[in-house]
Amino acid sequence: MSSSSSLKFNNINSFVDTSFFATLADLKLNKLKLDSSRIRIKGFSSHPSVLTKFNDAPIINFDYSSFDSAEHSDHGSNIEWYGYIYNTNTIEEFKNIDKQKMLKKWGEEILENIKRLDSTEDYASFNQVFALTFSDLKKFKFYYWFAFPSIHSPWVHVGEVKHVSPEVQSMIQHEVSNTPFKQFFQLTNDFQLVSGKLNPDFNTFAFVDICNNQTLTTSLQLKNYLYFLALKGFKSINIISYKADGPSAQFQLRLADSFDKNESPKIQGWERSAQGKLGPKLADVGALSDPKRLAEQAVDLNLRLMKWRIAPELNLDDIKKKKVLLLGAGTLGSYVSRTLLGWGVRNFTFVDSGRVSYSNPVRQPLYFFKDCYAENGKGEWKALQAAKALKEIFPDVQAKGEIMEIPMIGHPVDNSDGNAKESFDRLCNLFEAHDVVFLLTDSRESRWLPTVLGQYYNKIVINAALGFDSYLVMRHGNMQKEDFDAQRLGCYYCSDVVAPEDSLSDRTLDQMCTVTRPGVASIASSLAVELYISLIQRSSLEKLKGQSSSLFDEVPHQIRGFLHNFSSMKLHNLNYKHCSACSDAVISNFRETGWDFVKNCMNDTKYLEDICGLSQVQKEAEMASQSALNDLSLDELGLDDNEDFSEWIS
């Protein structure tokens, strides 16, 4: 250096681990939301005692622990540096902020802090870190710019730079290695430590660098200490720039006469790039992360935004942990599973006995043309392929398929038919293992046994059924009464006065397929899922009242829709005491004899009607009808007294 020149400093750099951005994203969603006020952060650097010659630049590191609010914990091999982060809500806000004005404000905060000090022992007051960020959570991109504000004072270098003697190097090394970290401290004329307040009689100071740059330079952090000495009236000082594994240097500085402590100082400190240019950085975390992990975060994003902006009481964990059993993997099963997936459900089991046919893919979104002929010219099993398709859509999902025919009332079995009993046992096990059951099969009788099991195992049962241009979506009542004043809601069969029977045999072509307007299934499926979500988001899961309320307001019992006039209506009906599926008599008999009861019902629907009391209801209805007919006069019947009507009375 010349005999009188300005000091040269090494700029401070940041190193940001990807865990820093993951934590920032979580903080943005769950705490900050639209709040762009500053929050506390901290970084860390390696302790000077463990630096090597390869640590040739002053670096402050940031990771997931940077948001930990714990106070000083300097020990071991790390030193913590404290400050604040400002996370903007839009990229426009990030770009348009007056960066110089913001840096000046940060520097003035440091200035106000050090004006109140009488020593340099509290390094955190002299060195603060700040960050301006924008988090693009949809693309997993993070824009950020760190600042390490430094306050300028007009010190000039006088004379030559000298190497520090081994004795002084050893003394400072002992102080750094064996005492709590101090970055800047005063020394006597014989290089002994001065503790406590600054002593105006001594003008030698040691600065502990946090890098081992092999040149006779020093880190930018020295600037704030120099400004502090200028404020305290020092005019000429000796600085020892200590480096643990580098050339420690000693040089003399003189304060220029132009210094005026009443004037606002110049403040610098925005981090520069490796090329020495000013500008923010971009972390594209998406390009560095596991795609499966990114998918999981992205799927959760919309739900968490919903919780953040609209429904803060939404229990996403409760939705996510529920195990869903889908009886039917056709059109309804496909749409219901996709909608549940959008709500964050992760655990699915499909039950179906059919294969993918050529007519399926256009209406059933879990299947493709190749699935129609994949297995020796046959279609894939629907249950297996549906589970596979969900995993392809979202790898984190837990989905499996069960190839199984549901035992159906009206479809007789004999004692030698072990398959039906096996299917019954498997279905019972599935009900026990799941939290909610969706009835999505394509026949009325296939829903009877699941309705009985739903009551017996006390499960949430959601039913969706289709007509040509109409649909029914409903939740079944439950025998576990949580409201002693309420009666149990009805099930799918509570409006019937006859037991379900075989509707599949001898069907015409148009009856062999589910002939509906294409939009009916997706509408009904969406409503079924939304009804279920609303049901489980109630503060108390009361399954009993027809028009109860939840986080999403109303939770109806039934929704019936009609596309011929694009209308829908909400209905509710209470449990029918003679219901063929959920009456007390049916459940009691099932509880007592299990499979034997089910087998008897399958073989003879009259048996079921006798058990639940429908036979008596039908008999009484016929008697009442006959009585009413007998009470009518000939005039009321429109008959002549002389007319011979023996032909139509038998």
DSSP 18-80: HHHHHHHHHHIIIIITT--S-EEEEEEEE-GGG--TT--S-EEEE-GGGG-------BTTEEE
Classify residue 229 as exposed, middle or buried by CB count within 10 Å of its CB (0-12, 13-18, 19+).
buried
The amino acid sitting at 539 is: S
Query: Beta strands 249-255 and 236-242: pairing type?
Result: antiparallel
Residue partners of 103: CB distance under 8 A and separation at least 6: 147, 149, 267, 268, 269, 270
Q: Quick one: angle between helices 448-456 and 584-593, nearest 10?
A: 80
- Residue 375: what are its φ and ψ, rounded to 5°? -110, 90
Q: Quick one: angle between helices 614-630 and 605-612, nearest 10?
A: 80
Please give the Cα distance from 146 to 84 (Å, whole number).
10
Please give the Cα distance from 15 to 37 (Å, whole number).
24
**Do residues 134 and 93 make contact, with C-beta atoms less than 8 angstroms apart?**
yes
Please give the Cα distance from 12 to 143 (Å, whole number).
19
Q: Out of 372, 494, 513, 612, which one is annotated catalytic? A: 513
Which phi-psi region, left, alpha or beta, contains residue 10 (left: φ > 0; alpha: ψ -120 to 50)? beta
Residue whose entry in the numeric block shows the structure tokens 């400050």: 83
Is 582 a known active-site residue?
Answer: no
Two tokens, residue 43:
């970084």
Two tokens, residue 434:
């799941």
Q: How many helices (H) and strands (E) does the chain have?
A: 19, 27
Which phi-psi region, left, alpha or beta, contains residue 412 (left: φ > 0; alpha: ψ -120 to 50)? beta
The amino acid sitting at 588 is: S
CA count, 13 A, side-chain hemisphere, 576? 19
CA count, 13 A, side-chain hemisphere, 93? 12
Give the three-class secondary structure for 272: strand
Among residues 189, 604, 252, which one has the least CA distance to residue 411? 604
Q: How far is CA 634 from CA 73, 128, 411, 627, in A?
A: 104, 105, 45, 15
Please give the Cα distance from 603 to 506 (Å, whole number).
18
Query: Per-residue b/e over 529-553, b at no fewer than 16 CB within 10 Å?
Result: bbbbbbbbbeeeebbbbbebebbbe
Among residues 411, 327, 405, 461, which one has the least CA distance to residue 598? 411
Residue whose entry in the numeric block shows the structure tokens 């270098």: 157
Annotated catalytic sites, by residue? 513
